[in-house]
Chain A
Amino acid sequence: MEVAEQPWFAWRGEKGRLDPLAEGREHAVYSDRQLVVTRTSTPPGLLFAGEIDLTNSDAVAKSLASEFPIFGDAHLDVGRLSFCDISGIRALVEAAEALGAGRRLLLHGLPGQLQTVMRVTGWSDLPSLVLCDCQVVQP
């Protein structure tokens, strides 16, 4: 009956395997065992890789607040986010609303499932949070 770590999903923690988030950890503005946040240059913003859930959504909110530009829109590349729960989306929503005064948070590459979740949870109509498929984000 007991389930220990099973091979199918244990790749992340399997001994001897590379850390799938290793790339970028060195220059990360935030990093934990399941998420790495790095800066992007074009447009200036942040790139999220890994998973956001209730264990790190507060930390995500803090890194968003401290890393956003002072003026203009803020850009987030979330194309490498493999999981984001409601607390994570809430952190993005709060960050977008905190920008204020006509500024927007642009999400680049939001996975289809998260678009569904935002629609289902009633968060898809915020003027301050924009889904963008421009594909110009570069590290």
Chain B
Amino acid sequence: MSAQAPVERFRHEALLYSGWAEFVAGTVPFIRGGLEAGEPVLVVESPEKIDLLREALDREADRVLFADMAAVGANPARIIPAWQEFVERNSASGTHLRGVGEPIWKGRTDDELVECQRHESLLNVAFGNGQPWWLLCPYDIEKLDRSVIDEARRSHEFVSQHGNARTSPDFRGIEASGAPFDPPLPAPGTGALQLEFGPDGVAAVRRLAARLAVEAGVDASRAADFTLAVHEVAANSIRHGGGGGRVLAWRQTDRIVCEIQDRGRYMHALADRERPRPDRGAPRGLWLANQLCDLVQIRTFPSGTAVRLHLRIDPRHHLHLVPA
């Protein structure tokens, strides 16, 4: 398989690398191949790796789009909409596209890692039956746990290493990639406040969220954002989840967390990451939650749904990429 040949359908490929030299050797020919074929190329990486690629690509770097993964993918559920925008903007031209995206790095929290892995699977659902483009996802095998690499083999149809790309025998397929997501969530924080709510109880839910935010010292504007996100998820429970549910609220070292449980089930895997169209009926609550919160964990169990919303207390503590 030549790195230069355009693909006939969506190709989701993990690149296993160890050290900066292997990273460059795995990505630069891929990027050059795209440029030579006239394909738009978007690279979503750490600022350090972007500098490295700019240097290696020299003048060709001016034809590549770069974005900071720590900004785009702080909440991993915002990465698919970013790729979707890239694909849609270029779909009219009929050309093929290439992307490089490294959503998982050493330094992601355990919660973020699980959501990143879900994101990698959902890429297959979002693009697997659409127009042809090629997404290369670098994985640092030196720094990441073995279990993370094993999961990459399940979420990517192709895996390449040392210049050899192979079909991954462990790939779970498009359909299974969108199956209900049900790994257990960590236990709620100690002293979590709990509130049951029915159709008339949504105001009490948002007051609980507002109180949690203000008492934790979150600034007013982000407290309002968090309150609205919690409100919208609770409103979903009232409308679609059996008329009500239960909210748990607690503070964790650097963040506040609210979990809304109800008896409904989200049947659509991409429900929380499809950009709403201007038509009025489209649901927007989960989309909004992903734009306003630092992390959203959605779990669908046979008994119902749990949605956990995280907000960092101090926005300056934005996660940053650990230099390779």
Contacts and interface: CB of A to CB of B under 8 A. Distances in A.
A122 B211 CA distance: 29
B63 interface: no
B206 A2 contact: no
B210 A9 contact: yes
B210 A122 contact: no
B279 to A, nearest CB: 9
Nearest to A93: B280
Interface stretch (A18-26, A62-70, A110-118, A130-138): A110-118
A1 B248 CA distance: 9
Contacts of A121: 276, 284, 287-288
Given A87-B235, A122-B275, A125-B278, A3 B193 contact: yes
A121 to B, nearest CB: 5
Given A93-B280, A113-B225, A120-B292, A83 B206 contact: yes
Interface stretch (A37-45, A50-58, A71-79, A100-108): A50-58
A1 B278 contact: no
B113 to A, nearest CB: 26
A123 B228 CA distance: 17
Contacts of B292: 120
B297 interface: no
Contacts of B202: 53-55
Contact of A122 (B207, B228, B277): B277
B288 A86 contact: yes
Interface string B214-242: 11000001001101100110010011000
B228 A117 contact: yes
A126 B278 contact: yes
A34 B231 CA distance: 15
Contacts of A34: 203
Q: Which residue of B200, B210, B284 has the most chain A CB atoms within 10 A of its CB atom? A: B284
Interface string A1-21: 111001011000000000000
A113 B221 contact: yes
B111 to A, nearest CB: 23
B291 A53 contact: no
A53 B208 CA distance: 16
Nearest to B225: A113
Contact of A1 (B193, B238, B280): B193
Q: Which residue of A8, A86, A123 has the most chain B CB atoms within 10 A of its CB atom? A: A86
A34 B136 CA distance: 51
A49 B106 CA distance: 48
Interface string B284-317: 1101100110000000000000000000000000
Given A113-B221, A122-B278, A54 B238 contact: yes
Contact of B291 (A51, A113, A120, A126): A120
Given A1-B194, A9-B211, A83-B231, 7 more contacts: A3-B193, A8-B211, A9-B207, A53-B202, A83-B228, A87-B235, A97-B280
